[in-house]
Amino acid sequence: MKPTIQLPSYPKDLTDWWWKEVVHHWSDHGEEKILNLLREEIVRQSDRFNKSRDFDPSAYGARDLSLLAYGNFYTPRTFAASGFSLAESFNYRGWRAPGKGPIQILDLGCGSGASSLASLFYLRSWGIKNPIILDAWDYSGKSLAFLRRIHRENQHLWPNTKISTERKDIRNLAASFPCRESYDLILSSYALNECWEGENPSTYSETILSLGNWLKESGQILLIEPAEGQVCRSLHSATALASSMSEKLFIQAPYFNGMPCPLWEGNSKYFSHEVRACTPSPQVERINHPLNLEIRDVKFGLSILSRTPPKPHCPENGIARIISPVRKRKGTISFWGIGADGKETEYEWQRRTLEKEDQRHLLELQRGDVVEISGIKDHSDKRIRVQKADQITPVFLPRWDIRN
């Protein structure tokens, strides 16, 4: 199936930039020793993200080793997650650059800039010509210094863009007046869960409400979090609460018609997240070699909010977001989707009725894709048997471009 939007892969210049930093930092170490130092730190960070969940300011933003390990290993992945999320906003959820004048972006918890730089890089690669001004906030001064240098030293990747960094604790947003009061895009990737770890969801939703006030009428907020059950549930409960408390804040994604996440509402054991194939660079492969961490795809939870209501969909139009892996069994190919009414439906094809090529197209669908399934008479069934391959049409199919 033809992608609806392509994402150029992580720029090699950035991979090289981060590696040069490491080599410069440990100029008296051999390559294998450096790789092992990075690997130890990556495991420590993975435990911190997934197990201990301790995020005090000195945790990693204050140490060179942790910033260098993050930059070399995790940054390409959060860059990709941010790219896929921007693709949804741009390619499917109706975000448009202003007709004239600069695009204003705010990145909260920007760290060394994966999401900030992804936004500049992808908007340029999708042909957006406006000047871009980006405000980047984080409480780690060292991270912000990295961001400024990467931006300055790789201008060819994001021409005609300006970054202004500010060291702040983003838990105190209510007391914080932004430099610009009307943003076209507000991003936060893999950061708010750290701020609000262990806190009541209402504190998270208050942050979202503040962000809503700083958004232009046509702007969107993109909240990206790691694909972990509790973290994604908090994200979806906070967005639901924020939009229920404001008449000017609507949920655009991940589903339809402004609805809160049905998996969170229904207390499901599953949680909404995307799993997107994205090829790691040879450098990430090399670092990962003995660690054997999963690097062939990027998983993340996403919420998009806007000041204007989303485009309406009626259940009969057959729109669905894929929420499971695509399964191939002996006689069938199937996946679960959530439709315009918020209900979960299993869509199933008999393999014997499909050409090999059509089977391959179905098996290439990814969790997070939005498709339209036509010709269904009764949408109330929990399982729908689809007769033909051409009843499914791609609506939002972003794909990592492996050619470059």
Ligand X SMILES: C[S@@+](CC[C@H](N)C(=O)[O-])C[C@H]1O[C@@H](n2cnc3c(N)ncnc32)[C@H](O)[C@@H]1O
Q: What does the binding site for ligand X look like in residue numbers (CB under 6 A)?
A: 55, 61, 75, 78, 109-111, 114-115, 138-140, 143, 169-171, 189-191, 194-195
Residue 227 CB, nearest approach to ligand X (Å): 14
Residue 114 CB, nearest approach to ligand X (Å): 3
In terms of CB distance, is 170 or 373 closer to ligand X? 170
Q: Is 364 exposed, middle or buried (0-12, 13-18, 19+ CB in 10 A)?
A: middle
In terms of CB distance, is 107 or 369 closer to ligand X? 107
**Token code pair at residue 397:** 């199919």
Nearest to 385, CA basis, from 373, 393, 399, 400: 373
In terms of CB distance, is 195 or 319 closer to ligand X? 195
Q: How far is CA 386 from CA 318, 319, 381, in A?
A: 12, 14, 12
Half-sphere exposure of 55 toward its Cβ, with a 13 Å CA cutoff? 20
CA of residue 259 relative to chain centroid, distance: 19
Sign of dihedral through CA atoms 140, 142, 146, 152? positive
In terms of CB distance, is 55 or 90 closer to ligand X? 55
Secondary structure class of 187 (helix, strand, coil): strand
Asked if 366 contacts 322 with a C-beta cutoff of 8 angstroms, the reply is yes
Give the ranges where 126-228 is alpha helix by DSSP (H): 141-153, 192-195, 201-213
In terms of CB distance, is 339 or 368 closer to ligand X? 368
Residue with nearest beta carbon to ligand X: 111
Residue 295 CB, nearest approach to ligand X (Å): 15
Q: Which neighbouring-strand residues pair with 400?
A: 7
Q: Is 37 exposed, middle or buried (0-12, 13-18, 19+ CB in 10 A)?
A: middle
Half-sphere exposure of 68 toward its Cβ, with a 13 Å CA cutoff? 22
Residue 396 CB, nearest approach to ligand X (Å): 22
In terms of CB distance, is 170 or 386 closer to ligand X? 170
Residue 45 CB, nearest approach to ligand X (Å): 8
In terms of CB distance, is 163 or 384 closer to ligand X? 163
Q: How do beta strands 103-108 and 132-138 pair?
A: parallel
In terms of CB distance, is 119 or 334 closer to ligand X? 119
Residue 395 CB, nearest approach to ligand X (Å): 27
Residue 78 CB, nearest approach to ligand X (Å): 3
Residue 365 CB, nearest approach to ligand X (Å): 26
Secondary structure class of 90 (helix, strand, coil): helix
Nearest to 149, CA basis, from 321, 24, 1: 24
In terms of CB distance, is 115 or 306 closer to ligand X? 115
Q: What is the Cα–Cα distance from 69 to 77, expressed in whole angstroms?
A: 13
